[in-house]
Structure 1
Amino acid sequence: MIKNNIKEQALSVAATSYLKEAFAVAYLDGTIAYLNRQMRHLANLKNENLADIDLFSLLDHFKTEVFNEPRLALRKILQTGETYENELFFEATGKTFKIQITLVEVASNDALHETGLSTKPACFLVVINDITAIKENEKLRSDMVNLMSHEIRTPLTSIQGFAEILMLDDTISAENKEYISTIFNESQRLSRMLNTFLSIARLEQSDKQEFQKIPVKLDNVVSEVVQEMQEKAKRKRIRLVEKADANLPLVAADKGLVAKAISHLIDNAIKYSPERTSVIISTVLEPEYVRVTVEDRGYGIPKEEQEKIWQKFYRIAREGHDKEEESTGLGLALVKEIVERHGGLVDVESEVGFGSKFSIRLPRL
């Protein structure tokens, strides 16, 4: 009766969370209570009776170099109560599986009587997911990033360099220099697009734990970025105005990445603002976040496009505007990726013809 109760509650947990994965339920003594069809297939146990196998013989089918002692893994789970997770690569088949073994606590009157608690560890839940396709896609993306980083960036740098040299050659006609200038400017634009794309790709590949997070004063980061952007703003006769609340708390952030996100927002504001206007950069305290807002008096963004602008390669069609104002469609995607990797939020308020307010929020310490 007790075992049936344990089995039913464990199957309820498995069915709720792991409907499509291979999973097995086993009692603490190693007896198999249930194997679903996917688990039988992965372990090649199509015709075996449950009475003929136990948890240890089941896990032996998935032994690899990193999972060569299943009994030790089970013992550690019992001792700590922590879930065991690992990726298992099988060289013979080229398959990669993700294994997860969890202790399931089951509510019972016996547990309440024995421990004073309403639950107690009652069985193991083993879940195995075939992630071969995911790993192959990750490798493909990594290969593409390496290709773009080296095989495309190198000739692009040469094109820029030679175009710059040719523009300084006084023997070349003014008409041809105009063509060369176009080559130089377009190669620079492509280089910026490539760098931003690679930044996004590397962020997507990285783990949050790879970030160099330190306590940071966000208003100081804003000041540093504004200082760097002053020359660009002056060329367009735009005034950068800083506003900040007093005694702002710290945030945990990778300073370089956050500076890059703020820089993209200020750069966009300068690019799309009319001459002789101001761009206001505010750093303010909210209940759970420190918010940085960049406000411009530019073209504004139609309401129906405000959600789409954070997508990679999405660009708002604007007729009659300078080519220099064309977006790569990647800058805001990078901002969003950086901020969300920090557990933050992005948003935009905008009205066509009246400008935009772009905000990023990072959790306060």
Structure 2
Amino acid sequence: DLKQLNKQIAKRESGMQTIFSAMQDALLVVDSNRRVILTNQMFRKLFALPEISIGTPLLEVVRDATLDGAIADAFRGSESIRSELTLDDSQIELYAVATRNDAGELTGALVLFHDITELKKMDQVRRDFVANVSHELRTPLSILRGYIETLLDNPKTSREELSRILGVMERHSKRLDLLAQDLLTLAQLESANPNLQLGNVDLPSFFGEVIRDWEKKLAKKQLNVIVDVSPGLPPIRADRARLQEALYNVLDNAVKYSREHGEIRLVARQRDEEIILSVSDDGIGISKEDLPRIFERFYRADKARTAENIRGTGLGLAIVKHVAQLHSGGVEAESKLGKGTTIRVSLPVRM
């Protein structure tokens, strides 16, 4: 009967409203006169609106030229219209499509809004990364190509000049090799399955092993190294090889930016359920402006830190950050120009 039918219709409408309310995208439906027929909670949140009465003219609710244009284009054609609009700091993708009755007559339009802010940011990061890789490859390749042409054009190059040229070529070929290794490492760390080989890592022996590996580089600048591990510190559950990779990168920075006869401190402390590994140097330091960005890929601080003789790949600290995050930890840095830098890696005692 009619009563039962109305109940079924009301139930169906309630079910549809539940679906619309649960949608992660914003939804707007207007009639052919651009009066609001339906909105969901995400639409009202997106445009910071209160409840909207059915039949309210859209212009009284939202005034946006991009939205108006998309609805107008949808009314004129049979295709869905895609457009983008900016709301505050958000980038919104919208799709508008005309709605028609069984006779093919225009009844209105349905518009879906999807927040693509993070996608845009990721796309920009990808573009920056590709541009940076291209730049980092171009410089050593150009130098190598230039010297190869010089040698081809001058087969009687003196032994002294030849030795100098080969030295430069070797240095830049090593730089290319380091870049390739770091890119491969970063790709592995950022993959969906980084495959950590977890085991118990005893920090005193781990630090000792790292220092032995770095003896020559430390001795070359006559650096004094102090290892300070809290007594009774428990072993941490970690991938030893990845952790070693992270510490090598931090130590590499400390050595590169330390002055001769400087001091480097390796410290391990427990803070609640975390182990904090820190590497401190008394080198040239990092400016306040550069400090928040040093863990970004290819980011390099001021020119004093990027002189040719201490140039790196620009990926070392990004690798450190990824290793820490894969272990459910984090990284932080503090520094003062002319005073030195401390890099801290925090790791949970148990993963």
Normalised by the length of structure 2, the TM-score is 0.57
CA distances 1:292-322 after superposition (whole Å, capped 9, x unpaired): 1000011111111111111111111324975
**Equivalent residues of 2:331, 2:344 under 8 A apart:** yes
Which position in structure 2 is the counterpart of 1:232? Answer: 217
**Equivalent residues of 2:257, 2:305 under 8 A apart:** no
Which position in structure 1 is the counterpart of 2:91? Answer: none
Displacement of 1:236: 1.0
**Equivalent residues of 1:285, 1:291 under 8 A apart:** yes
Between the aligned partners of 2:305 and 2:237, the Cα distance in structure 1 is 43
- SS of 1:303's equivalent? coil
Which position in structure 2 is the counterpart of 1:99? Answer: none
Alignment identity in percent? Answer: 29
2:325 counterpart of 1:317:
no
Displacement of 1:249: 2.0
**Equivalent residues of 1:229, 1:267 under 8 A apart:** no
Q: What code does the residue aligned with 1:19 have?
A: D
Instruction: Report the more deviating stretch, 314-323 or 185-194.
Output: 314-323
2:325 counterpart of 1:337:
no
Instruction: Report the more deviating stretch, 215-224 or 197-206.
Output: 215-224
CA distances 1:183-223 after superposition (whole Å, capped 9, x unpaired): 00111012112211111012111425x21122222343222
Which position in structure 2 is the counterpart of 1:353? Answer: 338
**Equivalent residues of 1:222, 1:262 under 8 A apart:** no
Which of 10, 16, 22 lines up with 1:14 in the alignment?
22
Q: What code does the residue aligned with 2:176 have?
A: L
Displacement of 1:172: 5.2
Matches within 5 A, 1:300-311: 300-311=285-296
Which of 172, 185, 189 lines up with 1:203 in the alignment?
189
Matches within 5 A, 1:1-365: 7=15, 11=19, 14-15=22-23, 18-19=24-25, 173-207=159-193, 210-319=195-304, 322-365=307-350
Which position in structure 1 is the counterpart of 2:64? Answer: none
**Equivalent residues of 2:282, 2:341 under 8 A apart:** yes
Q: What code does the residue aligned with 1:313 have?
A: F
Between the aligned partners of 2:305 and 2:279, the Cα distance in structure 1 is 25
> Which stretches of structure 1, 4 residues or longer, exceed 4 Å deviation after superposition?
1-10, 319-322
- SS of 1:290's equivalent? strand
CA distances 1:101-128 after superposition (whole Å, capped 9, x unpaired): xxxxxxxxxxxxxxxxxxxxxxxxxxxx
Q: What code does the residue aligned with 1:201 have?
A: A
Displacement of 1:8: 7.8
> Which residues of structure 2 form unaligned runs of 5+?
1-6, 28-39, 41-118, 152-156
Between the aligned partners of 1:5 and 1:242, the Cα distance in structure 2 is 69
Displacement of 1:259: 0.6
Between the aligned partners of 1:306 and 1:336, the Cα distance in structure 2 is 14
Displacement of 1:360: 0.2
- SS of 1:284's equivalent? strand
Q: Structure 1 residues 206, 324: CA separation in 2 closer, same or farther (over 3 Å shift)?
A: farther
Q: Which entry has the higher C-alpha Rg, 1 or 2?
A: 2
Give the RMSD, CA atoms, in angstroms: 3.9
Displacement of 1:276: 0.6
CA distances 1:148-179 after superposition (whole Å, capped 9, x unpaired): 9xxx9xxx9xx9xxx9xx9xxxx951112101
Q: What code does the residue aligned with 2:22 have?
A: A
**Equivalent residues of 2:300, 2:306 under 8 A apart:** no
Between the aligned partners of 2:331 and 2:305, the Cα distance in structure 1 is 29
Q: Structure 1 residues 250, 5: CA separation in 2 closer, same or farther (over 3 Å shift)?
A: farther
> Which residues of structure 1 form unaligned runs of 5+?
22-35, 37-133
- SS of 1:240's equivalent? strand
Between the aligned partners of 1:254 and 1:13, the Cα distance in structure 2 is 44
Q: What code does the residue aligned with 1:315 have?
A: R
- SS of 2:301's equivalent? coil
Displacement of 1:234: 0.3
